[in-house]
Structure 1
Amino acid sequence: MTKIISLTDVPALIGQEIGVSDWITVDQTMINQFADATLDQQFIHTDPERAAKESPFGETIAHGFLTLSLLSAMNYSALPKIREQTMGLNYGFDKIRFGSPVRVGRRVRGRFVLKEARYRGANMLMTSYDVTVEIENERKPAVTGTWLTIVQFDPKDRPEET
């Protein structure tokens, strides 16, 4: 069951890890579909036989951008829902790093630390999360960075600032 919080709860969560996602298996079908969608057909992603022979990884690997894009799904399984939210928007990322390749068949999950939350205008809360995408049973993460998002809400629901 997803935890539901209020806008008034958010400030107390700054600096805390507020979610760890479910594991997601990155299989060859997912990699191939991402390659088709992005037109990135590099053999290290899409050709298992050639990747086994010619790449330093010995098998296919996920695109870094595929791993990054999984943060959206990870968000849904990890982060509490804000009761007053009417819509959520991606705003961008700061300092994305791809630390380790995700080999085909591995599982990944996301960790989310709320770094900052501040109001912008009458109906938006800008949040930033330090995110880490872990690879199961590996020491080095696949992705690290800071993810900026916007929570939109009805202006009448904005808490009084103290």
Structure 2
Amino acid sequence: MKRVLVPVMLAAIMTLAGCAHSTALPRSEQPLWGITVPQNAPISSAQRGVLADGTVTNDEYQASFRRFSACLAKGGFVVMENDAVNEVIQYGVPAAASKLNDSCYTKEFQWVDGVWQASREDTSNQAKSYGVCLTEKGITPKKTEEARYEQLQQAHIDAAKCYKRVYPQG
């Protein structure tokens, strides 16, 4: 697997939507980070509006999360929010809310969340760990997580071991 800690949700989005890599631009310079939202996707007009300009701001991300949480609250469930990591909201949903969670997540947050998380990957702990391991080997880390991962491969450095050594607590 190319990434050690790729969010399952983001992988699912890309699997469902397909990646729009029709140009030679790096993914970070493509509209919606290479994620294509189908026209018939069952999403709210608010979520579609956020995605219309091809970017997601932190304010838009936070507002989309609040709409997702409110959707679950209407069904009587509380979203347990934890500290954010790399400006990505960490949260939990009761198991009993799984069907409603799927519906609310798709309608209000899925695509915004995927684009936001993709936009954060170059500043993630994973990207930072790659930089540490490369620097320790005398290699100047490149700017993006993807490029750093390629550098690790070329230097025969195990990405998973690198991450676990730099961040032993996960």
Relative contact order, higher structure (CA 8 A, sep 6+): 1
Q: Which has the higher strand share?
A: 1
Length-normalised TM-score, structure 2: 0.25
